[in-house]
Amino acid sequence: MRLQDLYQQLRERRAIRVALICLVLAAALAATLFTWQLSSTSFARPTVAVLPLEATDAREDTRDLADHLAKRFRTILATRPELRVTESRSAMHHALAALDPVEKAQALGADYLLTGTLDHGEQRLRLALQLLGADGAQLWSDSFESPLLFQAQLQEWALDALWPQLPLDPQALEAAKSLIADCHYPDDGMAILTLARTGRRGGGPASLAMVATADIEAGLLHLAQAEFYFGQIKTLPSSQKTVIQKLAMRSLALASASCPGHPHVELLQLLNTNELQLDVDNAAGYLSRHPNSADLYLAVAELHAEEGRDRRVRALAAEALLLDPVFAQTRCRVHELLEPGPGEAGDCD
């Protein structure tokens, strides 16, 4: 090997090492910043609540798809640390249905409300979105239309228009849109079921039913199943837990294979399995990757409670409550953390 070639290889290796060191330092800095932010009762960031999208007709598949799209927008926005994004179980809680926008914003502590309608024509979808302020004033609105089979493109158009309306990093848009491009509806099985029903009833081309069925068999429905199983497993008799745990792990494995980069996959692994271990040392890193999971904040708060770090427990519990203010179980777990007492353990199971 010529001496010049050897020097070139050494320079390339040195550049790679420098790049890796920079990446590690950046990750450590992000985790440290997140830890510092949490030292206060709750760090300042505007709150966005993604409300249910209203179906403009009484068709079941339209309602299913509207529900799916709202959850998908919440999932994408929730990856961003610039925003506090209300958990869907609070933002879509039935208790809010009769409230006007101002009352909803007050109940959720929201600075922004994202809402809209979905119209499902014979072969086309029309999505209309509105962004409201806490005072109910309309800050932005737009509508988007696409053929039924181009739902991913419809969502991308909506994100392109919505992103500049919120205090979000413009450079993060493409990464957020990759959740749509890389994952075909892994976070909610209802949309897949809607597509399958549409095709099988003859409302769409025959290929639609084939694609939807293949998606189900490939595991795109299984993340929703895993969430259901994990959500119910604590309340089951011990004789049933082993079977349900195996079903849940199988569902989660299929979901992970179909969409390994989806944030819900890692969260489910972290909070419900032994595949990932959560502890006080790595908690800041996980929180920086999942900045809008009330369940993760509560899980980390419980770890700090075991070590008697009351100030950190209060900060984490407060953030969980801001993220999920209406859901009864979250409020119950926060109460148990902040005001523990005899006989209260297990009240939130």
- The residue written with tokens 């209060």 in the block is 314
Any alpha helices (H) in the chain, and if so which ranges? 3-37, 60-77, 88-91, 101-108, 151-162, 173-182, 189-200, 206-218, 222-232, 238-258, 263-272, 283-289, 294-306, 310-323, 328-338
First-to-last alpha carbon distance for the chain, in angstroms, is: 67
The rounded distance, in Å, linking the Cα atoms of 195 and 199 is 6
**Does the pLDDT value for residue 40 go beyond 50?**
no
CB 265, CB 237: distance < 8 Å: no
Tokens of 316: 């984490």
Mean pLDDT lowest for which of 59-63, 195-199, 245-249, 333-337?
195-199
- Name residue 269's amino acid: Q
Distance of CA 11 to the CA centre of its chain: 42
- Report which of 287, 264, 251, 253 is spatially closest to residue 33, judged by C-alpha positions: 287
**Does the pLDDT value for residue 268 go beyond 70?**
yes
Please state the domain extents for the chain.
Answer: 47-183
**pTM (predicted TM-score):** 0.77
Is 135 strand, coil or helix?
Answer: coil
What lies within 8 Å, CB to CB, of 109 at 6+ separation is 47, 322, 325
What lies within 8 Å, CB to CB, of 53 at 6+ separation is 66, 67, 69, 70, 115, 116, 117, 118, 127
Furthest-apart CA atoms within the chain: distance in Å: 78
Q: Does domain 47-183 have CATH number 3.40.50.10070?
A: yes
pLDDT of 42-80, one tens digit each?
A: 568 999 999 999 999 888 778 878 888 898 899 999 999
